[in-house]
Amino acid sequence: DADVTQTPRNRITKTGKRIMLECSQTKGHDRMYWYRQDPGLGLRLIYYSFDVKDINKGEISDGYSVSRQAQAKFSLSLESAIPNQTALYFCATSDGGLGRTEAFFGQGTRLTVV
C-alpha cells in the first residue's frame, strides 16, 4: 500500500458543486500539505498543517478550505467549484520543515470542473 493515499484519483464535477478531496498517510508524519499543479506553473501550496490543531494558508488558499481530522488524515474542500480550479492536486507529508526534509507525495487527484 502507498504511504500517502489520495481519493478519488479522478473526478469531474460541475461548477458550483462542493467537492472534497481526501488524503491519508501511514508515514506517521505530523506535517501535511496540499499542492496544486497546473501545466507550466509547477506546484503551488494551498494549505499546510503542522498537527491537528495547527492549519495554515499557503500561497493560493482562496476558494479552498481544509480539515485535519486526525494525524493521518487531511482533506481539501472546494466549497463552490469553478472551472479555473481544474488541476492536478497533490497531498504531501514530511517529518520536518519542507525546506529541509524530504516530502512524500500521493499519486494525485485530477479534478475537472465543467
Sole binder of other proteins in the list 1, 41, 53, 70 (CB under 8 A):
41
As given in the structure block, the three cell numbers for residue 86 are 481544474
Interface with other proteins, residue 10, by CB under 8 A = no
Taking the C-alpha atoms of residue 102 and residue 90, their distance in angstroms, rounded to an integer, is 15
Least Å from the CB of residue 85 to other proteins: 19
* CA dist list (Å): 59 to 4, 69, 72, 92, 96: 22, 22, 23, 16, 19
Select the span of 12-20, 64-72, 76-84, 88-96 touching other proteins (CB under 8 A).
88-96
- 73 vs 104 by CB, closer to other proteins: 104
